[in-house]
Structure 1
Amino acid sequence: MEDFVEVIIHYISLNFSSELTSVLAGAFLFFLYFYSKIRIKAYLKDKDQRYFYLDLAIRLIVLFAFYLLFFYMETKLKTFIAGAFFKNLSLLLIIVESLKFIYKQLKISQKSLLSLIILLTSLDIGIIFLLDLFHSFNLPIGSKYSLDEIVKLLAIIPLFTFLFIISNKLVSLISIKNTLLRITLIKLVYVFNILFAILGYLWFAGFLNFDLSFLFGIILTFVLSIIYAFLALFISNKLDTKFEIIQQTFPDIKSKIFTLLSLLFLFGIYLISILFFNIDGFIQWTKQFFIVKTDILKISLYSLIKAIWFFILVVNSILIIRILIRYFMYRKKGEFEPTPIEAIIYNFGVLLAGIVSLSMLGITWKVLLPLIGALGIGAGFGLQSIINNYISGFIIIFNRKVEVGDIVELKGNAGQFIGNPNEIIFGIVTDIGVINTVIETIDGVSVAVPNSRFVSENIVNYTLTDNLVRLRIPFKVSYEIPREKVEKILIDTAYEYKRYLAKYHFPQVWFFEIKDYYNEFVLVMWIDARNWKK
């Protein structure tokens, strides 16, 4: 394959102008073909059926003329790449137009079958195009290129079509009661028919040589794919039925789980490929292909892919664990209440994932320090703020003066757009992140506050020692209303919300102050701060 790439690059460097001219000519001819096809189709919309036959015949003749023209360009004018490409494209369109005509005349209703046949034909023509190029440049595999081989390759299409029909019939025999298994296999049948077709074409054309271990690897890949698809459908089914509350509360839970499954599936395919498909040469090439290569830092394609895979895997796992912790709290308390353990798992998990991923890339402090110095003073101030907030996040976690689930108050704005004039942020801490802490206000607004503010500023925490707080509600009352009546009305009103009151603290009414036009009373009651929204 390396020889093929080198030959192609050398050829293009010598024949760039002729190939470009051929590409432009071919593109123009096919543009005219498709444009006229659209116009003629619109014109014949309400015409007699005989005109359609005439239109098809003309199109097939034009495509055959294209085939001969590009065959001449390839063989006589020596435009090997453009000539071969447009020649095989003409052949593909001839076959596709003929298939659509036959499909329509036979009134076959399975559109998926037609799509499969067209896809198989496209793959087949693609292999023929590669063989054509290998033949033109006198490379070993190209020795198999001949009219007989083309006919044989095209003859494989009915075989794979037959296999597709048979496999679909076998899947349809599965009981409707096994819905999950049935859906899984239906999805996989199409994919694996295409996969086996590609491998069959490559093997028949001489691009691949199979042995027993290769076939065993194919079987393992098939089994692993069935397990992956089954797990994906099983989890999706469970989330849609028994765990609907999780999906409603965390709409992205499905995508996170599928991402995790996909990463594990790719790792399984990687292991199978190493053991059975002999990809050591390709792996070695990715390790020697450097994206960054300096005296102090070398990042290869292999290390970059490995680091990205590991980081996404760990972060997704952490996010799923956080959701599961919230679900367990929901089963225990009846609501999705945030917990301090979430913040610890998330912060340490992301830190671990970042450190390990950077080490996989070969980035250590020896590399980072010179880079930070080279960034200059401006970047240094930016990094200082980030590092300050990051370290403050760990101080918050270990100091435990503010935890996830606490009811807090601090200076700031919590939504002027929604008409909140107060210069305070009051709400529940829902997340202590790497850089910010998120507070959900009573208006349903989530405010991201830098972690450093919780270390350097005064924070009111209503649930630091316990959940009980004394609430004071002022009332303006006319002079004419007796104090006893005011007390009775306010006390009775407070007891209407008895379920929110503290058990051993009774509501009181204080006569607070005499104003110019009214008396001011204050209703005092102890409540559980965790009922802040209610």
Structure 2
Amino acid sequence: MIQETVNNIYKILSDTLALLASYLTDIAQNPLQELVLFLAFSGAYLFLKLLTVNFTRPLREKGLNVPADIFSLLILYGASFLLYQKFSDVDLFLFLFAFLYFEVVRGLFSYLRAHLPFGRISVLLFYALLVVNSLLLFLQNISYHLGKLQDLYSLGFKVSFASLVSLFVIKVYSHLAVIIGSEVLRRTLRRGKLAFLVLYLALSIGWVLGTFRLSQSFLLKLFLLAGVLFGYFFIQAYLLINLERKLGTNFQLLRKDLRRFLNTFSLFILYKGLDVIFGLDPVRGVLGKLFIVNTELVKISLLSLLESTYILVLLFTSVSLLKNLVYLYFIRKDKEVEAGSLRALISNLGILLSVVIALTHLGLTWKVLIPFAGALGIGLGFGLQTIFNNYISGFILLLSKNIKVGDLVEIEGNAGSAIGRSGSTIFGQVVNINILTTVVRTTDNVEIAIPNSEFVSGRIVNYSLSDPYIRVRIPFGVSYSSDPQKVREVLLKVAQESELVLKEPPPNVWFYEMGDSALIFYLLVWVDIRKFWRMKALRSEIYFKAWEELKKEGIEVPFPQRDLWFKNPLRVEINERGLHEGSSQGG
């Protein structure tokens, strides 16, 4: 292959030398005419240059940089073109065209260089491209004049000219994106740099290959696409600026994902626009026939690979943006737990759906995807069994109304060991019934998320299901020397004076049992558990008041006592250190 390339280059050089030899031969046939024409144009060029320099001198003295050389060169270029139409047999015009073209572009570059920051490398690259472009223009003119190698040099001139113009366009565009005063316009040019570069490259390639003509319809579509792109990036820049001002530091969470999504979507707009202008059906047809894998089960072409890759990137950026939007929304409402949970859920499901959609566009048939879908379905079935159980249980709770928001419930379990609470049950108020869990707030203000299935399948004590009035039992122990009737009177007085106890039904006192060390009484009071559901606080207040009243009446609250009886008498001995030693006679 290398040898073939070398041979092709050698053939092109040989044909070029033969073309130049033919051109010089034509000039040699009538050298006097060619020389006179050359001197005439040289004199005209010097005269016009002197005239324009003197004409523009007052303007330059006022600080206005006027490209005088370009005016004279353009006049000569037009004059030479008109003369060539009349004297087409004069070969020197072909050289003059290339020379004047070189001088016009060089003068224009010198003028722009004074206003644009061209670096040394850019200047060297420009002059190199200009020399090549002018030489190819000269060879193209010769090839058309002699009828040889027209397509080759025409293509070479177009490629070099497009490269030369690209250097100007990129430099001017980048400079405008820096010096323009409006922040919105400056960001618009920066955001649209890639899209406009792709559009320009498509136009350049289309012009080089001759795939379009500069008709009125084509220019209308081109300007319409450029306007749509500019409007899209203008709205994008305006949106980003206002979101940044409104959200402040929170915008940093969305900045990267929002830019990626907007830039990725801009490629879709550009693709559709190029399809309208150029008609990309032939390109899609060619790419669709270039198969990477072509089997009965898997058919992956270059087109499907490009489309699936773009869809995957677009969906990934969309999922990333959506999860951060949801996270930011709940964070601003001080719901950090919900924010983290929803972000994780959206991320996991979004990535899964994105991969599945991208694979379907890649070219995998359902015969390949069905086994994976079956395995995935089994895995989801086991994994989501508990989730669906709690989900359906939540609907059962809402419809049955056995548990409602605001009810006071007690279930098995422990909550609050970190704050010193012990016990085998959880007592609290239902504050929320979600799709998967029910939130119960305990008397210590500890919130517990309990799966809904436990309320359906387990035994739940609901203190306020149909009637919020409940009876509370408060135990008391007094000494055996106490008068039970007096104790009863004191406890009823304490209950009747308490604001937490209902007057109806009236409180009552039970003489429950005669224990080992005390007489056991129960004070029974009725309370509205909706208004007062912290039972320990109620007991504490009753005990405080009852202690004072029992003490005033001389009623003793005993401590546990035991009487110890020995079968044999005891003998007590005191040793030298003052300690006594006891032993029984029986041993």
TM score, norm. by length of structure 1: 0.44
TM score, norm. by length of structure 2: 0.40
